[in-house]
């Protein structure tokens, strides 16, 4: 199919939202290579038109597989969402993060470089490799520090952010040394449909509805900059279309929130949309638990480059995006129940038992 893109990690949270939005807004096909780890869920793509979307189970580090897919489908761009993405898991077991985020990204870059070198001159000029990364590579901010800009030095603090920083450096080097036409985006905390309930917002929604404690780490005053996932996906489409190769783009919600305020807001919305049977507030379930080791205190993104170059701004407010998100989880009990399998339960036991 003409104008095909290859997406990696497209069965995960952001990747699946991206593919659904892409199929709605753009032309052409999508080849989606996903290892289908615990975080990858083909159900997220149930509404993707099978005539335009092909899901292939595989590892981005499998050079033979990726090279075959590139040769067969001739994509005009590769978008790399595939990663191990959860900070707490990286603390419990960093090896998978080094394997996928560093080594497999390196192998992917090499497969893509070989493909790109064989393209006809016009196609080679038009080709793009877009790497989806995080604001966590910049480390932690003090209360009065300016937000992270594209020139903020890297200072990753967790095994997750260190592995993502390493992948960003590889992508940068493949541009600088080999001329691969790369784009990198560094985004703040996403929330929205299809997010695996190990992350703060969906974990709080599910625990609240099950009558379980809402575990807030430390004093609950850590700050994150929250962005609705659809806004992140729209920003990525824009960078892919108009971004300057070799550049990095910071994407954020201009929406700094303390964790405890986020949890209170989730509770207030649930009190309205799905009240507890005893008439009391979900807030009563909030419990402060042992902190995350090395917990970054504050993230904030300065997204002025996205705004000045592309006029991009988030379309959702936190109130509208959070309401949509809660409504989605409340109206998809099958998706939620399918997630709560043995792997999920084992993770919850491992991460939370020791915090109480």
Identity of the residue, 59 or 296, whose beta carbon is nearer to ligand NAD in the bound complex:
59
* Distances, alpha carbon 336 to alpha carbons 106, 200, 271, 332, 348, in Å: 34, 15, 19, 6, 15
Contact of 225 with 252, CB cutoff 8 Å: yes
Query: What tokens were used for 149?
Result: 């800009």
Cα–Cα dist 120/160, whole Å: 37
Residue 5: strand pairing partners: 30, 77
- Pick what 250 binds: ligand NAD, ligand DAU, none; C-beta below 5 to 8 Å, kind-dependent: none
Per-residue string for binding with ligand DAU, 191-230, x by CB under 6 A? --------xx--x-----------xxx----x-x------
Of these, 60, 87, 141, 233, which contacts ligand DAU (CB under 6 A)?
A: 87
Cα–Cα dist 246/268, whole Å: 44
DSSP of 244-260: PTT-EEEE--S-EEEHH
**Catalytic annotation, pick one of 136, 168, 198, 296:** 136
- Pick what 60 binds: ligand DAU, ligand NAD, none; C-beta below 5 to 8 Å, kind-dependent: ligand NAD
Of these, 35, 53, 86, 128, which contacts ligand DAU (CB under 6 A)?
A: 86
- Pick what 11 binds: ligand DAU, ligand NAD, none; C-beta below 5 to 8 Å, kind-dependent: ligand NAD
Mention every residue, 6+ apart, whose C-beta is less than 8 A from residue 319: none
Contact of 167 with 189, CB cutoff 8 Å: no
Half-sphere exposure in the Cβ direction for 301 (13 Å, CA): 31
Per-residue string for binding with ligand DAU, 147-186, x by CB under 6 A? ----------------------------------------
Q: Is 39 in the site for ligand NAD (CB under 6 A)?
A: yes
Identity of the residue, 207 or 250, whose beta carbon is nearer to ligand NAD in the bound complex:
250
Of these, 85, 222, 255, 259, which contacts ligand NAD (CB under 6 A)?
A: 85
Catalytic residue check, 135: yes
DSSP state of 334: H
Q: Is 34 in the site for ligand NAD (CB under 6 A)?
A: yes
Cα–Cα dist 203/286, whole Å: 12
Contact of 170 with 106, CB cutoff 8 Å: yes
Catalytic residue check, 160: yes
Catalytic residue check, 62: no
Phi, psi (5° rounding) for residue 113?
A: -60, -40
Residue 177: how many CB atoms within 10 A of its CB?
9
Q: Is 37 in the site for ligand NAD (CB under 6 A)?
A: yes
Q: What is the CA radius of gyration of the chain?
A: 20
**Catalytic annotation, pick one of 160, 191, 282, 299:** 160
Cα–Cα dist 281/218, whole Å: 22
- Pick what 100 binds: ligand DAU, ligand NAD, none; C-beta below 5 to 8 Å, kind-dependent: ligand NAD
Minimum distance between the CB of residue 102 and ligand NAD, rounded to whole angstroms?
A: 11
Cα–Cα dist 134/184, whole Å: 10
Identity of the residue, 69 or 136, whose beta carbon is nearer to ligand DAU in the bound complex:
136
Q: Is 318 in the site for ligand NAD (CB under 6 A)?
A: no
Cα–Cα dist 127/323, whole Å: 38
Residues lying near ligand DAU in the complex (CB under 6 A): 85-87, 134-136, 188-189, 199-200, 203, 215-217, 222, 224, 259, 292, 299
Write out the catalytic residue numbers: 135-136, 160
Residues making contact with ligand NAD (CB under 6 A): 8-9, 11-15, 33-37, 39-40, 59-61, 81-85, 100, 104, 132-134, 164, 187, 189-190, 196
């Amino acid at each position: 199919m003409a104008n095909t893109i290859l997406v990696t990690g497209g069965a995960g949270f952001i990747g699946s939202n991206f593919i659904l939005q892409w199929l709605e807004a753009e032309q052409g096909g999508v080849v989606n290579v996903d290892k289908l780890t615990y975080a990858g869920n083909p159900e997220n793509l149930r509404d993707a038109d099978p005539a335009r979307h092909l899901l292939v189970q595989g590892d981005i580090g499998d050079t033979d597989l990726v090279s075959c897919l590139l040769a067969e489908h001739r994509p005009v761009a590769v978008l790399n969402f595939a990663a191990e993405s959860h900070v707490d898991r990286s603390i419990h077991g960093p090896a998978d993060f080094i394997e996928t985020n560093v080594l497999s990204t390196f192998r992917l870059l090499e497969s893509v470089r070989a493909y790109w070198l064989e393209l006809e001159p016009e196609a080679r000029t038009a080709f793009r490799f877009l790497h989806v990364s995080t604001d966590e590579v910049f480390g932690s901010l003090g209360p009065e520090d300016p937000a992270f800009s594209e020139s903020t030095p890297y200072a990753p603090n967790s095994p997750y952010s260190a592995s993502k920083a390493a992948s960003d450096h590889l992508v940068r080097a493949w541009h600088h040394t080999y001329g691969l036409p790369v784009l990198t985006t560094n985004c703040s905390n996403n929330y929205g449909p299809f997010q695996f309930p190990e992350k703060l917002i969906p974990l709080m929604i599910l625990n609240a509805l099950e009558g379980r404690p809402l575990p807030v780490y430390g004093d609950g005053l850590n700050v994150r900059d929250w962005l609705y996932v659809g806004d992140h996906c729209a920003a990525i489409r824009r960078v892919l279309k108009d971004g300057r190769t070799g550049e990095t783009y910071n994407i954020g919600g201009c929406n700094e929130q303390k964790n405890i305020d986020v949890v209170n807001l989730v509770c207030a919305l649930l009190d309205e949309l799905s009240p507890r049977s005893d008439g009391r507030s979900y807030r009563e379930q909030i419990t402060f638990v042992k902190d995350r080791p090395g917990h970054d205190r504050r993230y904030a993104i300065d997204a002025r480059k996205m705004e000045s170059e592309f006029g991009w701004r988030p379309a959702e407010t936190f109130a509208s995006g959070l309401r949509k998100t809660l409504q989605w989880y409340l109206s998809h009990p099958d998706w939620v129940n399918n997630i709560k399998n043995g792997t999920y339960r084992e993770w919850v036991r491992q991460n939370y038992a020791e915090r109480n």
